[in-house]
Amino acid sequence: MKMGICKTTSLALLLICAFMAMMPGCRSDSKTVGSDGSSGAVIVVPHGYMARLELVHDGRMVGFGPFVGYYFRPQDPGDLSRLRFVCFNENRFYSSDMPNGARLYEGTAVRTTLPQADRVLPAQDRINPLFFGETPEAWRDTRPEPQDEFVHFHSCYDAAGPAHTGYWIRHVAVSDFTYDMGGLVGRESPLYHRVHKGPDRDFARIVEFDRGPGKGN
């Protein structure tokens, strides 16, 4: 779907706000959630899951994450090409009708390197989203099977900024809920959708280039 410049910019800003909150890079078995530090909601992060990963790929060190509510671990120990993840409604960031800290998704992330294209990777913001209609077909063709379930790409990054290497993510909902960015978006937004338990094929089709944490807004 081809997006207008103004509409794309506003959606980009919304997505950036949604994913900007930073989390510690080490694993914790439990975590108190609350924007003011006083919330009693506690999430249990499964053993071995981390908010941020570092890996050596093609001879360089790259990072992946953190972003709100997501925790990852290798599907097989020592192999970071395929990850498992869980996603929580941390501070009710994703759903206004689910409790603070509720588990929303689990799923798989598959490492992929997008082919070079005649364009500079966007790096003006921490996270720079491009809807599928704004991306080269060759990038979309790298989706693992089933392609209608791997619809969200998030890049790795290094000291220079976003990388072509990243992960295609398959979201599997653990229950029914409304995905409305915590009530910030309505039905007119391509981000908004009613999620049903199972693979979320209606998840926004977006390729995100991550500049990395600690580099400003």
User: 58: pLDDT confidence band, cut at 50, 70 and 90?
Assistant: confident
Evaluate whether residue 69 is within a structural domain.
yes
- Checking if the pLDDT of 195 tops 60, the result is yes
The pLDDT value given to residue 175:
97
Say if residue 12's pLDDT is above 50: no
pLDDT at 25: 35
Contact of 181 with 204, CB cutoff 8 Å: no
Secondary structure letter of residue 90 according to DSSP: G
Residue 29 in any domain: the answer is: no
Task: Report the domain count for the chain.
Answer: 1
**pLDDT on residue 14:** 41
Domain encompassing residue 106: 5-22+48-210
In a domain, 32, yes or no: no
Any domain includes 40: no
Distance CA(76)–CA(57), nearest Å, equals 17
- Output b/e per residue, 109-121; b: 16+ Cβ within 10 A: bbbbebeeeeeeb
Is position 33 within any domain?
Answer: no
Mode of pairing for the β-strands spanning 206-210 and 150-158 = parallel
Domain annotation covers residue 43: no
As a whole number of Å, the CA-based R_g of the chain is 16
Rounded to two decimals, what is the model's pTM?
A: 0.82
Residue 129 lies in a domain: yes
**pLDDT, position 178:** 98
What single string gives the DSSP state of each residue in 66-128?
A: --TTEEEEEEETTEEEEEEEEEE-GGG-S-TTS-TT-EEEEEEEEEEEPPP-SSPPP-SSSEE
Q: In this structure, are residues 113 and 165 in contact, taking their beta carbons and an 8 Å threshold?
A: yes
Cis omega (within 30 of 0) on the bond before 66? yes
Instruction: Tell whether 149 is covered by a domain.
Output: yes
50: DSSP letter: B
- Per-residue model confidence (pLDDT) at position 3: 36
